[in-house]
Structures are given as C-alpha cells and as structure tokens.
Amino acid sequence: MEVARRAAERGPAPERSRPAPAPSAGLRRAAALALAFLAFFAMSDFGLPLRPEFGAYAALLLLAWCGARPWRELWALPYTRLLAAFVAFLVLHAAYASTIEPRSSYSEQLTVAAKLVKLGVFSCVVGWWLSLMPKAPPRLLALMVLGLLVAVLGYMPWQELPRLFDGSLRPRFGLPENLSGLLAAVGGWLALCLLVGAWRLAPKNPHLRLGLLAAGLVLYGGAFMVLLFSQSRGAWLAFALAVPSMLLAFAAVRRRHSRLPWVPLVAAFATTVLLAVSAHEILAQRFAGVDRLLGSVEAVVGAAPERTPSADADARASDRADRTRGTASGTKAPAPRRFASEASGAAPEAELLDASTAPNKAASVRLRLYEHGLGLARERPWFGWGLDTLPRLVAPLDLGGERHAHLHNAYLDALVGIGAVGALLLAGLFLLLAGELVQAARARVITVGSFWALAGALGIVLIANLFDSLLWRFDYTRAPLELLFGCCIAYGLIRRRRRAGTDALSAAPRS
C-alpha cells in the first residue's frame, strides 16, 4: 500500500522518447546498391561513367530521405566535430593561400581543398549506411578486391607477359604505377584476410572449404601479381612490413583455445614464394645498385656545401619581387628559386647521386624533393603555402628532365600545403578513426578478423604514403579510403547504439 501511495503522489512516469524512425527497406536496398557500386569500382579507372565516387554521391543523396537522424548520430562522434573544424580551417586557409601566391585564385585553392573535404564527408556517409548493415563491410571489401582483379584482367597486356615477368615492361592497369602498387598491396592483404576468414567460418564441408580456398587464393595471387608488376618499392615495403606484423599480432592476441588457420596461411605463403621466384628479375632490377646509392648519399651529405641563410633570404626576397613585378605587368612570372645552391649554379644533389640505374634515379629524385619540401616547410611552418600552390613550387625543379607535381610524401605535402596547424588537425582525424576501431574491438562490436583486416589495410596506406602522395589527389585513391574509414565510423556508431540500448533498425516502418 505504501508503494502504491508513493507512486500516486509522484504521478504518471514520463514516457521514454522513442528512437527516430529508421530508413525503409527500399532506402536501405538503394544505399546497398550505391555502396556496392562504390566498392566494385573503388580500385579501378574505367572512365567517367564508372567513377567510384558516383556511388558515394548517390548514398549522400539518399540521406535526404532519412530525416535528421543520420546527422544527429554522426554529430555525436568526435571525428565529425573535428571534421567540421577542419573544413572551416580549409575554407579560411584557401583565402590565406590565395594571398601568398597571386597566380592561384581562391576558387582554385578551394577546389583542391575540396578533395580532402570529400574524403571526410563521404567517409561519414558510408559509415552511417554501413552501421545499418553490420554484415556488409566484409562483403564490400571482397567486392573491392574483385573489382581490382576485373580491372587487371581488362588492362593486362596478355601478349607481353614475358616482358612483364622480366621487368622490361611496367604496366599501368589504367592507373599510375605507384597507385596500382598501393591498391594491390591493400587488395592482397584484404584477400588474405578473406581467405583466412572463409576457411575458419565455412561449414565442415571439405568440398566447400576447398572451393573457398581456391577462390581466395585466386584473389590473393592476382593482387600479389599486380603488386609485383607495379614495381613500386614503397608498396612492396608497406606490404612486407604490415602483413607479417599483423599476422604476428593476431597470433599473439588470439584466444588460447583457438587454432591458427595454418592451411590458408601456408597456401598463401607458397603462392607468394612461387610468384616472387617467377618474377625474380623484377626484384633484382628494382633493387640493383642499392649499395652504390647508399655510398653516393653518404658522399653527398659529407660534401654538401653549407647553407648560407643570408644568401637564401636574398634569393627568396628577389624571387618574390620578380613575381610581384611579373604579376603587375601581366607577364609570366619567372620560376621560383628556393635555395642558394640553386641560385649559385651548384649541381643539385639529384645529379650527384649515382643514377646509373632507374631505381637509383628514382631514389635520388625523391631525396631532392624531400630536401626541397623541408626547406619550404621551414619558410612557412604554421600555415603552409596552400594545397594548390604546392605543384607550382615543385614543378619548376629540374630533376634530370622530370617534372613532378608533389613531393612524393603525403605527410610532407600536407605540412607544406596546410602547415603544421592543418597537418595536426588531419592527424587528429585519423587518430579518432583509429580510436573508434580500437574501442569497437574492445566492446566486441567487431570480429577479431575484421579488426585486423582494417588495421592492416590502414597500416599499408600509412606506410606507402611515406614514399608517395596518394591520400586525396585521385578519386580512385579516395574511394578505398572512404570504405575503410567508413567501416571505422560504422562500428563506432554501432557501439554507441548498443551502449544506449537502441537498435539500428528500431521503429523501422514495414515495407
């Protein structure tokens, strides 16, 4: 009686707020088709009608029929709030950069900055839709690897296979060589993870297991073959470092009663050795003359002339004055000179290095670009020169008759382009994504295999971009990252819904 009396005094309990309606089944199917389009063409370039980001645009448009729920859930993520601050920074930075380089207008600076914005926004869009489809991420990753192999089959010069294996022909597969190497490294790792996962989760049917093993080996072997043919040493290094590290980490943290999937791992290792031995001439050619290159680097460092700060400052002041006069008179401004060694006519380090072989020449060019980029970063350390200004600062360099549009290092590109402030914001975004993935693994929202698959793919991307700039420049490099980053966001959203006690499809209308 006392309990009833107290309940009557308190009055009726307030109704719990019902979760917002989830998208209808038709919208989810349309979004799944859009994401499948994005995944299949994420690692290929078949022309304008089949650009992968068309799928991301379609998924973004479908959010307009979902009400305010997607935006409210995404805004609860720390990543999204930091992304909004980063977008505001890029808008203001474009105005700042247009005042530094008169030849680059505000709209041109914004156009290049929009590539980074699209990468972040589309990752959020993909992540929200994937949070409604928890079983979709592994299937989309498999579809992405399948799309890569379809592109390889379409672009493979089948009549030139002997030249491919001896290293005399470097195929493009519709993409730049370094980019195809990065995509093949990511695709090879994902194919290996799918191979192991299919072997462990398949029913105890020997025929089905052998069929899955054969299909997985085809995917892995095809991706590894593309990795070899790309002749990208940066992608090779990323794959060689990330794959053993991830496998050792997986073996160390696995449950004690679980057994390692030795059969698919041994089969993948045998495939790797067989293909590497078959293409041993490519490996020998790409690593030829490394000892002479290292000796030349030591000689260059020891014999390098000491920089004269006053001479550098005079050269830069003269260069700015020349560009100002050229802009005011309507004539083309002369190419910028950045260092006193260039102004004095001293031979650049790229020419002093042993460039008797193609690998040595590529390494020497990168060393010169890194030195040039560090000099530019020291001149404007906090806010940089502008993303659109960077190619104008790099293009005038004469590197053995070659012209480059970036510094062959994504992190140095970011430091020179948007300065230390923008680079720290960009690094913060990635750390927040990695944190979402780790927290989802601790909460057991994501399976162990999926966690290591995503962690290894992100590790390969980070290592490969030490030797090239492939993060945001092309839509066929952004599309795989949009899927990988989107998976991290999806698992973060699922974890938050489970903690709040709500279901992703709660209050969904019946179709």
* DSSP assignments along 260-302, one per residue: P-HHHHHHHHHHHHHHHHHTHHHHHHHTTTHHHHHHHHHHHHH
Cβ proximity of 437 and 446 under 8 Å:
yes
Least confident span in 43-52, 86-95, 188-197, 256-265: 256-265
Task: Provide the percentage of residues in the chain whose pLDDT is more than 90.
Answer: 24
> Has residue 179 been placed in a domain?
yes
Radius of gyration over every alpha carbon of the chain, rounded to an integer in angstroms: 26
Tally of structural domains, the chain? 1
The mean pLDDT of 3-30, rounded to a whole number, is 63
Res 92 pLDDT > 80 = yes
pLDDT of residue 504: 54
Please give the residue range of the domain that contains residue 427: 69-287+412-500
The mean pLDDT of 397-410, rounded to a whole number, is 73
* Neighbour count for residue 144 (Cβ, 10 Å): 28
For the chain, what is the largest distance between any 2 Cα atoms, rounded to a whole number of angstroms?
A: 100
> Has residue 58 been placed in a domain?
no
The mean pLDDT of 466-471, rounded to a whole number, is 81
Instruction: With both helix axes pointing from N to C terminus, report the angle between 475-500 and 410-442 in degrees, rounded to the nearest 10.
Output: 30
pLDDT of residue 348: 37
| Token duo for residue 473 | 């420049």
> Has residue 17 been placed in a domain?
no
Report the sign of the C-alpha dihedral through residues 459, 464, 465, 466, in that order.
positive
The mean pLDDT of 350-379, rounded to a whole number, is 65
pLDDT tier at 482, thresholds 50, 70, 90: very high
pLDDT of residue 9: 56
pLDDT of residue 310: 45
How far are the Cα atoms of 113, 240, 470 from residue 86, in angstroms, in the given order? 11, 33, 20
> Has residue 7 been placed in a domain?
no
Res 15 pLDDT > 70 = no
| Token duo for residue 224 | 């590894």
The mean pLDDT of 152-169, rounded to a whole number, is 78
Least confident span in 345-354, 412-421, 442-451, 488-497: 345-354
pLDDT of residue 472: 80
Distance from C-alpha of 99 to C-alpha of 368, rounded to nearest angstrom: 27
This prediction has a pTM of 0.78
Distance from C-alpha of 412 to C-alpha of 335, rounded to nearest angstrom: 21
Least confident span in 100-104, 169-173, 336-340: 336-340
Select the highest-mean-pLDDT range: 197-206, 228-237, 333-342, 390-399.
Answer: 228-237
The mean pLDDT of 212-232, rounded to a whole number, is 85
Q: Does residue 21 sit in helix, strand or coil?
A: coil
pLDDT tier at 17, thresholds 50, 70, 90: very low
| Token duo for residue 338 | 């950045």
> Has residue 104 been placed in a domain?
yes
Query: Which tens digit of pLDDT belongs to each residue from 313-352?
Result: 444 444 444 444 444 444 444 444 443 333 333 333 333 3
The mean pLDDT of 290-304, rounded to a whole number, is 46
> Has residue 117 been placed in a domain?
yes
Distance from C-alpha of 349 to C-alpha of 367, rounded to nearest angstrom: 8
Of the candidates 345, 333, 344, which has an alpha carbon nearest to the alpha carbon of residue 311?
344
> Has residue 404 been placed in a domain?
no
| Token duo for residue 8 | 């009557």
- Which has more pLDDT, 117 or 175? 117
Query: Which tens digit of pLDDT belongs to each residue from 55-88?
Result: 999 999 999 888 888 999 999 999 999 999 999 9
pLDDT tier at 505, thresholds 50, 70, 90: low
Distance from C-alpha of 343 to C-alpha of 351, rounded to nearest angstrom: 16
The mean pLDDT of 155-167, rounded to a whole number, is 78
| Token duo for residue 26 | 């038709």
Res 150 pLDDT > 50 = yes
> Has residue 79 been placed in a domain?
yes
